[in-house]
Copies of this chain bind each other. A is one copy, B any other.
Amino acid sequence: MADVARHAGVSAMSVSRALKDPDLVSPAARQRIAAAIDELGYVLDLAAGSLSSKRTGFVAAIIPSLNNSNFSDTARGITDELEGTGLQLLLGSNDYSIEREEELVEAMLRRRPEGIIVTSGSHTKRTRRMLEAAGIPVVETWDVPDAPIDQIVGFSNAEAMALLVRTLAAKGYHKFGYIGGTTERDTRGSQRREGFVSALSRMGLPSGRLISFGVPPISMEQGGQAVVEMLTHWPDTEVVICVSDLSAFGAIMECQRRGMKVPGDIAIAGFGNYEIAECCHPRITSVDVDCYNIGRQAARQLHISIKGEESEEVPSLTLTQYRVIERESA
């Protein structure tokens, strides 16, 4: 920056101003500075800038998996909302592992984000402590934890699943099956399973047939294998609910491969309203959970908290919408 300043015949301070608040610099100087920057190929060094200004200009977010359109939609929501705020997104994925999450949180906090968005669910003790001690706003998303760290933007996965069960029961289904495990790896999946079980019992329906298969998140392929297991154990199952549309899709395809009609011989529903649910044949009955807006809202709250204006208060709990989308598969 000193070089640029010399070239333009001004002080370094003016260069700094020209870059971050051009109005403070006279047009003539501004132009000379721009020319010098261009000639020297100068690129501002944010590390130095943030050391002195105490503002790093980015927020961190951690999602379970990149390769899952639900979560990448949330990431897109965050990015879009941050556009124009002067904040950038540092994105990490933890492959559904809370140990990996701990490493990521530490690595990110070392770079001093101004806020952080994590996917709700269980965290290691150390992760919690680090987040609480960081002194920055924290938003947990995608679920409603019992003991929140700071802010929450999410919905009850259990209730959303219960709504799906009620909707299907109203269509006359009686014998329910469920595909998807219980595990710390995928707390949202576990909550859905709990919601499934308790909804059936509340409604006085025969208790569900539960299949866990493979390590969550369950893939398409595993959805197919699981439905085979389901049909072997309980051939009279009328409707199978899967923890996500991806496994539901795998299950449907496997049934078709075996010559079974969906929903004629067996009905299958999913969760998440992925693109595939709308597009496959038969189209999959699912629960839409507004992933994109979870991201937008989380980022909006974070941004407000960071600006720290008294006038704007941020709710500690924001519930997002979900709804059942009935299609042909169930």
A residues within 8 Å of B by Cβ?
41, 43-48, 50-51, 56, 66-67, 69, 72-73, 75-76, 79, 88, 90-93, 106-107, 109-112, 129-130, 133-134, 219-221, 224, 249-250, 253, 256-257, 275-276, 278-281
Residue of B nearest to A95 (CB): B76
Query: Beyond A47-B112, A67-B73, is A256–B281 a contact (Cβ under 8 Å)?
Result: yes
Is chain A's binding surface mostly helix, strand, loop or mixed?
helix
User: Which one of B47, B256, B275 contacts A47 once the chains associate, using CB atoms below 8 Å?
Assistant: B47
Query: Beyond A67-B69, A90-B90, A133-B41, is A46–B110 a contact (Cβ under 8 Å)?
Result: yes
Find chain B residues with CB under 8 A from A219 CB: 275
The docked-state distance in angstroms from the alpha carbon of A281 to that of B45 is: 53
B47 touches A279 (CB 8 A): no
The docked-state distance in angstroms from the alpha carbon of A139 to that of B116 is: 30
Residue of B nearest to A223 (CB): B279
Give the distance to chain B from A30, nearest Cβ to Cβ, in Å: 19
Residue of B nearest to A91 (CB): B91
A275 touches B221 (CB 8 A): yes
Could you give 30 example pairs across A and B, Cβ below 8 Å?
Answer: A41-B133, A43-B106, A43-B110, A43-B133, A43-B134, A45-B110, A45-B112, A46-B110, A46-B112, A47-B47, A47-B50, A47-B112, A48-B51, A66-B66, A66-B76, A66-B91, A67-B69, A67-B72, A67-B73, A90-B90, A220-B275, A220-B276, A221-B275, A221-B279, A249-B280, A253-B279, A256-B281, A257-B281, A276-B276, A280-B280
The docked-state distance in angstroms from the alpha carbon of A242 to that of B10 is: 58
The docked-state distance in angstroms from the alpha carbon of A221 to that of B76 is: 20
B67 touches A278 (CB 8 A): no
Give the distance to chain B from A38, nearest Cβ to Cβ, in Å: 10
